[in-house]
Amino acid sequence: SDIRTAPTQSVGPEYQSESQKPTATVSTPVNFDNVTILPQTPQLIALLSIIRNRDTQRGDFVFYSNRIIRLLVEEGLNHLPTVEHTVTTPVGRPYDGLAFHGKICGVSIMRAGEAMEQALRECCRSVRIGKILIQRDEETAQPKLFYDKLPEDIADRWVLLLDPMFATGGSAMMAVDVLKSRGVPDERILFLNVLASPEGITNFATKFPKVRVVSAFVDPGLDEKNYIIPGLGDFGDRYYTR
Ligand code: URA
């Protein structure tokens, strides 16, 4: 596919002047109301620089991708509804705060999406997590549903759909179709991913304008094998093997 030019930006703390800040390649902008890209902070760019590096070994790949995934989950949770909630502090004073409202669950797209389950568990104690296995059908070359195990009351929950690599969007779109067939409304699905492509986002957001997407970063495109470029290679292989 055509390779767009990736944007470059100065990245650094507010107290530094533009000329003091180093420049880096930042996320390709996307123009869909339902898509949120994480703020392009020095932390995020440095963490991504580690996991994108082909010389980064598995231990560091796991550690630093876990940190990015944690940022994604924390941002994703900001898209869930809250209600006003006043508590009394130990010194007897009220604090007008908020409480989370509604039940949630995670659904990982196997195998790479399972790498995102731990961060969700760290943020949401004893969260229910379902799984979906989608693989390319050898004959048709189309994504095919091989297995799913989902909470029986999933239709009553908000669903955080987990898959780190959002390339063509084929698997994610099939996963959303499965969730919808179990009664989950589009508005209650939130798709969290580490690295997206503009074609994946366009395909997905056109088909499901009401499903929310949170990505850490959008790369400029895909190669002829539908790998994200510059990307980080095969996420599942780097996280689980060697
Ligand atoms: N899946 C991956 O692991 N990497 C890509 O670049 C695209 C899909």
| Predicted complex ipTM | 0.94
* pLDDT (0 to 100) of residue 140: 85
Ligand 1 midpoint to CA 235 (Å): 6
For residue range 92-145, what is the model confidence (pLDDT) as tens digits? 999 999 999 999 999 999 999 999 999 999 999 999 999 999 998 888 888 999
For every residue of 62-83, DSSP letters joined together read HHHHHHHHHHHHHHHHTTS-EE
Residue 234 CA: which ligand 1 atom is closest? 3
Domain boundary assignment for the chain: 9-86+97-241
Task: Answer yes or no: 163 catalytic.
Answer: no
CA nearest ligand 1 atom 3, residue: 234
Strand partners, 88: 94
Exposed (0-12), middle (13-18) or buried (19+): which is 174, by Cβ within 10 Å? middle
* pLDDT (0 to 100) of residue 207: 98
Give the confidence band of 1 by pLDDT, cuts at 50, 70, 90: very low
Spatial separation of the C-alpha atoms in residues 57 and 76, rounded to whole Å: 28
* pLDDT (0 to 100) of residue 3: 63
* pLDDT over 70 (residue 2): no
For ligand 1, mutation pick of 52, 225, 235, 239 (most atoms within 8 Å of CB):
235
* pLDDT (0 to 100) of residue 136: 84
Spatial separation of the C-alpha atoms in residues 42 and 64, rounded to whole Å: 14
Please tell me which residue in 136, 177, 206, 223 is annotated as part of the active site.
136
Query: What is the three-class DSSP state of 117?
Result: helix
* pLDDT (0 to 100) of residue 5: 85
* pLDDT (0 to 100) of residue 137: 84
* pLDDT over 50 (residue 224): yes
For residue range 146-203, what is the model confidence (pLDDT) as tens digits? 999 999 999 999 999 999 999 999 999 999 999 999 999 999 999 999 999 999 999 9
* pLDDT over 90 (residue 18): yes
Fold (CATH) for 9-86+97-241: Rossmann fold (3.40.50)
Task: Answer yes or no: 237 catalytic.
Answer: yes
CA nearest ligand 1 atom 2, residue: 234
For residue range 209-219, what is the model confidence (pLDDT) as tens digits? 999 999 999 99
| Range list of H helices, 22-153 | 42-52, 58-77, 117-123
Residue 228 CA: which ligand 1 atom is closest? 6
